[in-house]
């Protein structure tokens, strides 16, 4: 045996010992651990290479093949995925104390002030405090109702704009019109200003805001390989982490500007505040801080505003656009909505928010839109705080949980004709009110 052959044989033996043996060993360990079933995986990468451009579709096909609860190994991270209402109920309701936390991803560190927000923060006293602020001061019924007139104003402008555009005989770009409508509603509530239309902050600031929001939403939704393969971060071939740092800086500058404007009362001088309504930034600036401090820290305020922008803007715009696209594609549905509007609202006035409880068919249309086109294909990932069991399978501590909302809405075990937009499927036999949220039947809620 010459030296080269000896060296290659030794190298091969080392590879077997270092890589393949632990992998084989892991398989038998899996069985003794009793992990849920899942696709075979490669050493080091696990199942990462089986995920393509549309990971929600890949994960849904694993659920079809291996069952409602699937185990995956993503690089160095244990993960489970599901599109099944019973398993989702087990994770989010029955075992909420185990799964209420979030993984510390690089996007959360860079884009949510070091996980100092509410949506991406791990479970703990900081998260509890931030969540309490949201529930007691920002997302209260009273506060949301205080923006009713702003929303009505925006809706009126939307109708007038579309009418005026339609008179020119040219095509109306609904993405632009609905995007501006959603964005104005959200920014009026959060920041006290509208970005599009006659009383807007100006086209340059609007473009800047739109651009930052889309970049933020895109980076937050990405499955970034650096979170699963630490070695990837050394190379970062697509410059993802660099991009995160750039967006982090841009977003922080934007938030600082907004806070300074509010502190100086600039908005009030321009007369954009009506009847003493407070926007979210005003509210946060007025609250006391932790440990007897007079005010909340700027970082805390920025983290909450960041969450609200990311959670509210694209979700609303995308959902409105899908609903309109489906209604236009289905004239039968359009006619039924118009008939309902004629009988509940009549021809002589605009629809108001107080009409919404009585527009049951429209509510079915909203639910069907959520089923087929959830704002994001997954819920924000959860993480188990300790080892537990689901359906008799072992789930290790720190397992990442991907709840596949896209897959839930297309789960053939629950829905028939999954690709068909059919609002009637949500109509209740006794004609009682169709709920859009806060319902315990997860199969009926795509979000
Ligand atoms: C069509 C519109 C919307 C849809 C479809 C939507 C959907 C969602 C979904 C799926 C989640 C993740 C839940 C989870 O992973 O547990 C979420 C979280 C959240 N959303 Fe919305 N959302 C919408 C509008 C809004 C608006 C307008 C706001 C605020 C004004 C908002 C504030 C939040 C917040 C703060 C969270 C994080 C909650 C937490 O982690 O405790 N969302 N939303």
Q: Domain check: are 146 and 232 in the same one?
A: yes
* 426 secondary structure, DSSP code: G
Give a yes or no: residue 139 inside a domain. yes
Task: Give me ligand 1 centre to Cα 96, in Å.
Answer: 18
- Ligand 1 neighbour 319 (Cβ under 6 A): yes
Q: Domain check: are 308 and 248 in the same one?
A: yes
Angle between helices 298-329 and 240-264 (to 10 degrees): 110
- Ligand 1 neighbour 247 (Cβ under 6 A): no
- Ligand 1 neighbour 182 (Cβ under 6 A): no
pLDDT digits (tens, 9 = 90+) for 44-76: 999 999 999 999 999 999 999 999 999 999 999
Give a yes or no: residue 381 inside a domain. yes
pLDDT at residue 422 is higher than 60:
yes
pLDDT at 313: 87
Give a yes or no: residue 28 inside a domain. no
Residues 402, 383: Cα–Cα separation, whole Å? 9
pLDDT at 88: 97
- Ligand 1 neighbour 307 (Cβ under 6 A): yes
pLDDT at 44: 93
Higher pLDDT, 17 or 59: 59
Average the pLDDT over 407-426 and give the result: 97
Helices (H) then strands (E): counts for the chain? 19, 6
Residues 149, 147: Cα–Cα separation, whole Å? 6
pLDDT at residue 244 is higher than 60:
yes
Task: Give me ligand 1 centre to Cα 138, in Å.
Answer: 13
Q: Domain check: are 243 and 364 in the same one?
A: no
Please name which of 376, 303, 379, 315 lies closest in space to residue 103, comparing C-alpha atoms: 379
pLDDT at residue 7 is higher than 90:
no
- Ligand 1 neighbour 119 (Cβ under 6 A): yes
- Ligand 1 neighbour 344 (Cβ under 6 A): no
Average the pLDDT over 253-277 and give the result: 72
Average the pLDDT over 306-320 and give the result: 90
Average the pLDDT over 268-288 and give the result: 73
pLDDT at 198: 63
pLDDT at residue 139 is higher than 80:
yes
For ligand 1, pick from 95, 312, 313, 371 the residue to mutate: most ligand atoms within 8 Å of CB. 312
Task: Give me ligand 1 centre to Cα 139, in Å.
Answer: 11
- Ligand 1 neighbour 360 (Cβ under 6 A): no
- Three-class SS state of 172: coil
What angle is formed at CA 410 by the lines to CA 404 and CA 416, rounded to 5 degrees? Answer: 150
Q: Domain check: are 247 and 118 in the same one?
A: yes
Judge whether 217 and 310 are in contact, CB under 8 Å: yes
Q: Domain check: are 365 and 424 in the same one?
A: yes
Task: List Cα–Cα distances, 68 to 142, 283, 306, in angstroms.
Answer: 40, 43, 34
Q: What are phi and psi of 54, to 5 degrees?
A: -120, 75
- Confidence class of residue 287 from pLDDT cuts 50, 70 and 90? very high
Q: Domain check: are 245 and 182 in the same one?
A: yes
Write the Ramachandran bin of 432: left for phi over 0, alpha for psi from -120 to 50, otherwise beta.
beta
Q: Domain check: are 246 and 362 in the same one?
A: no
pLDDT at 375: 92
pLDDT at 446: 44
pLDDT at 141: 92
Average the pLDDT over 127-154 and give the result: 94
Number of residues that make up the chain: 447
Q: Which atom of ligand 1 is nearest to the CA of 381?
A: 15
Q: Domain check: are 270 and 170 in the same one?
A: yes
pLDDT at 367: 96
| pTM of this structure | 0.88
- Confidence class of residue 217 from pLDDT cuts 50, 70 and 90? confident
Task: Give me ligand 1 centre to Cα 305, in Å.
Answer: 13
Range of the domain at 377: 54-102+330-447
Q: Domain check: are 82 and 108 in the same one?
A: no
How many other C-beta atoms can be found within 10 angstroms of the C-beta atom of residue 414? 16
pLDDT at 277: 73
CATH of the domain at 233: 1.10.630.10
pLDDT digits (tens, 9 = 90+) for 349-391: 999 999 999 999 999 999 999 999 999 999 999 999 999 999 9
Higher pLDDT, 132 or 314: 132
pLDDT digits (tens, 9 = 90+) for 67-106: 999 999 999 999 999 999 999 999 999 999 999 999 999 9
Host H or E run for residue 77 = strand 77-82
- Confidence class of residue 293 from pLDDT cuts 50, 70 and 90? very high
Give a yes or no: residue 7 inside a domain. no
Nearest CA to ligand 1 atom 2: 316
Give a yes or no: residue 36 inside a domain. no
- Three-class SS state of 47: coil
pLDDT at 16: 47
Host H or E run for residue 24 = helix 21-33
DSSP secondary structure, 316-361, as one string:
HHHHHHHHHHHHHH-HHHHHHHHHHHHHHT-SSS---GGGGGG-HH
pLDDT at 296: 96
What is the rounded end-to-end Cα distance, in angstroms, of the chain?
65
Residues 332, 342: Cα–Cα separation, whole Å? 15
pLDDT at 273: 44
Burial annotation 242-268 (CB, 10 A radius, 16+ → b, else e): ebbeebbeebeebbeebbebbeeeebe
Give a yes or no: residue 14 inside a domain. no
- Ligand 1 neighbour 221 (Cβ under 6 A): no
Nearest CA to ligand 1 atom 25: 312
Give a yes or no: residue 351 inside a domain. yes
Cα torsion through 224, 225, 231, 232, rounded to 10:
-70
Q: Domain check: are 279 and 290 in the same one?
A: yes
Nearest CA to ligand 1 atom 28: 312
pLDDT at 102: 97
Residues 293, 129: Cα–Cα separation, whole Å? 14
Residues 131, 118: Cα–Cα separation, whole Å? 6
**Total of domains in the chain:** 2
Please name which of 381, 391, 376 lies closest in space to residue 99, comparing C-alpha atoms: 381
Q: Which atom of ligand 1 is nearest to the CA of 379?
A: 15
Q: Domain check: are 108 and 98 in the same one?
A: no
- Rounded to the nearest integer, the mean pLDDT of the chain is 88
Give a yes or no: residue 322 inside a domain. no
Which of 284, 312, 340 delimits the end of a domain?
312
Please name which of 182, 168, 189 lies closest in space to residue 274, comparing C-alpha atoms: 189
- Confidence class of residue 163 from pLDDT cuts 50, 70 and 90? very high
Residues 284, 290: Cα–Cα separation, whole Å? 13
Average the pLDDT over 158-169 and give the result: 92
Q: Domain check: are 224 and 150 in the same one?
A: yes
Nearest CA to ligand 1 atom 11: 379
């Amino acid at each position: 045996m010459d030296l080269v052959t000896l060296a290659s044989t030794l190298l091969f033996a080392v590879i077997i010992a270092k890589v393949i043996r632990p992998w084989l060993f892991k398989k038998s360990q899996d069985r003794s651990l009793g992990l849920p079933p899942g696709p075979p995986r490669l050493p080091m990468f696990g199942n990462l290479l089986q995920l393509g451009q549309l990971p929600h579709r890949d994960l849904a096909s694993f659920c079809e093949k291996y069952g409602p609860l699937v185990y995956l190994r993503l690089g160095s991270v244990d993960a489970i995925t599901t599109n099944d209402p019973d398993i989702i109920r087990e994770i989010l309701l029955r075992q909420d104390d185990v799964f209420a936390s979030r993984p510390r991803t690089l996007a959360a560190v860079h884009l949510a002030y070091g996980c100092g927000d509410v949506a991406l923060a791990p479970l703990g006293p900081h998260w509890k405090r931030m969540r309490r602020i949201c529930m007691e001061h920002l997302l209260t019924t009273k506060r949301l109702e205080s923006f009713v007139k702003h929303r009505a104003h925006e809706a009126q402008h939307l109708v007038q704009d579309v009418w005026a555009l339609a008179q020119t005989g040219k095509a109306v770009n609904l993405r632009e019109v609905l995007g501006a409508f959603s964005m104005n509603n959200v920014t009026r509530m959060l920041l006290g200003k509208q970005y599009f239309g006659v009383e807007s902050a100006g086209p340059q600031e609007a473009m800047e805001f739109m651009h930052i929001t889309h970049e933020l939403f895109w980076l937050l939704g990405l499955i970034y390989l650096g979170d699963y393969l630490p070695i990837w971060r050394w190379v970062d071939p697509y410059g993802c982490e660099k991009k995160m740092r750039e967006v982090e800086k841009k977003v922080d500058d934007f938030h600082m500007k907004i806070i300074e404007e509010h502190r100086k009362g600039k908005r009030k001088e321009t007369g954009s505040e009506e009847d003493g309504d407070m926007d979210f930034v005003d509210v946060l600036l007025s609250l006391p801080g932790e440990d007897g401090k007079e005010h909340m820290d700027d970082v805390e305020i920025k983290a909450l505003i960041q969450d609200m922008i990311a959670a509210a803007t694209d979700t609303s715009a995308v959902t409105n656009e899908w609903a309109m696209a489906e209604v236009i594609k289905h004239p039968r549905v359009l006619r039924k909505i118009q008939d309902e509007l004629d009988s509940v609202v009549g021809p002589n006035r605009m629809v108001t928010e107080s009409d919404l409880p009585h527009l049951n068919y429209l509510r079915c249309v909203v639910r069907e839109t959520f089923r087929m086109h959830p704002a994001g294909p997954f819920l924000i990932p959860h993480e188990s705080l300790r080892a537990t069991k689901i359906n008799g399978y072992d789930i290790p501590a720190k397992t990442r949980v991907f709840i596949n909302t896209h897959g839930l809405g297309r789960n053939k075990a629950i829905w028939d004709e999954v690709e068909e937009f059919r609002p009637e499927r949500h109509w209740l036999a006794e004609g009682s009110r169709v709920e859009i949220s806060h319902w315990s039947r997860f199969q009926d809620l795509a979000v």
